[in-house]
Amino acid sequence: MQTPVALLLELGIILAALSALGTLARRFTLSPVPLYLLTGLALGEGGIAPVPAAGAFVETGASIGVVLLLLTLGLEFSLTEFTASMGRHVPSAVTDLILNAAPGALAGWLLGFDGVGILALAGATYISSSGIIARLLADLHRLGNRETPAVLAVLVMEDFAMAAYLPVLAVLASGGQWWQATLGVLAAVGAVLAAFAASYRWGHHLGRLLSHPDSEQLLLRVLGLTLIVAALAEFVHASAAVGAFLVGLTLTGETATRSRAVLSPLRDLFAAVFFLAIGLSIAPEELMPALPAAFALAAVTLVTKVLTGRYAAARDKVGRRGRLRAGTSLIARGEFSLVIVGLVGATHDTLGPLISAYVFILAIAGPLLTRLAGAVLPRHAPRPGASKNSAG
């Protein structure tokens, strides 16, 4: 087998650069996510140092990265506790939809887009980035904070909403009929609900099936099952992130603890690739004309996401600082908004650059504002169920 020299060289340089940037960010107790995004922009097509040979690996690795981020996030919580949190936050989900989809819809109307364009822009401003936010919560040691279940409940319900939204947008963007969109929605929502019910009913058996004293076997079993569930979720137009998060929730006790240990290095590698891929997917020359409208839209929806997070955290009786942390945690947009670009970009020339610029602005601003919203917790932050006095 011939060794692809260009691929190995480009990947080596990329990983070395990400390592240096990560070290720099952590020296100042910052998340490295914004630096990874900027690196991706510089290395993408039209950037200062394109890496064509590594493109396919980065694209594939990005998909694995978001799955691992949500899997390890789910391992931090129990299914019973999270289901109760979801029930409390239905009003939060409604508030989130109203506050954050409306600005995108209004902007689309003012900019003269057709119905599909308006629907696409509303979705892009509504949905936060599960991948970026999952990494931020870990980087800033906030997984044990009192506001974190509220943040996760909002994120998961957004992903559920995407199961209904994406089939509709895909059908309408391709010129299909409403009845086709309706069938797609019913299939996607039904599959997500069935998976959630099955996990709740039989999930406690999963840990015993996956558990193994050998770390290699445990890694292969957990990762293999997670990728299968993520693939099935994508097949029914639901979110791979929801599938991975659901697998993480069902694993508890020693299995969850050991799974976190064996998966963490793999998660960190592919998470870095995921953030790099967001930058790589955006062409710098397309950003400039769209920046004025993107900045205006970002300014408005930054505020509406903060209000959403504050409201959700208040429902859990979190203190003022915790409510602010929850609000800023939800600012970042990312992978779903870029999926929307892929669905409608070919038929709406100006919409793709606008959403891409908007995503890039908030993917950078979100982590920075989240860091500024509260002090970094000690490295050994309280885990769910432990004392949370410092997270109020």
Condensed to tens digits (0 to 9), the pLDDT of residues 119-165 reads 999 999 999 988 889 888 888 888 889 999 999 999 988 888 887 78
Q: SS3 helix, strand, coil % of the chain, rounded to 5?
A: 80, 0, 20
Three-state SS at 378: coil
Tell me what the mean pLDDT of segment 83-96 comes to: 88
Distance from CA of residue 80 to its chain's centroid?
A: 22
Which of the four pLDDT bands, split at 50, 70 and 90, describes residue 211?
confident
Domain 5-384 fold is Na+/H+ antiporter like fold (1.20.1530)
What pLDDT, in 10s, does the model give residues 315-370?
A: 999 999 999 999 999 999 987 888 888 888 667 778 888 998 999 899 999 999 99
Q: Which residue has the higher pLDDT, 144 or 376?
A: 144
User: Nearest Cα to 41, choosing from 330, 361, 299?
Assistant: 361
In whole angstroms, give the CA distance from residue 392 to residue 388: 7
Average confidence score pLDDT of the chain: 84
Report which of residues 344 and 190 the model is more confident about.
Answer: 344
> CB–CB of 75/143 below 8 Å?
no
Query: How does residue 237 score in pLDDT terms, banded at 50, 70 and 90?
Result: low
The count of other CB atoms within 10 Å of the CB of residue 390 is 13
Higher pLDDT, 263 or 374: 263
Does position 376 have pLDDT exceeding 50, yes or no?
A: no
Please check the confidence at residue 377 and state whether its pLDDT lies above 70: no
The mean pLDDT of 194-200, rounded to a whole number, is 72
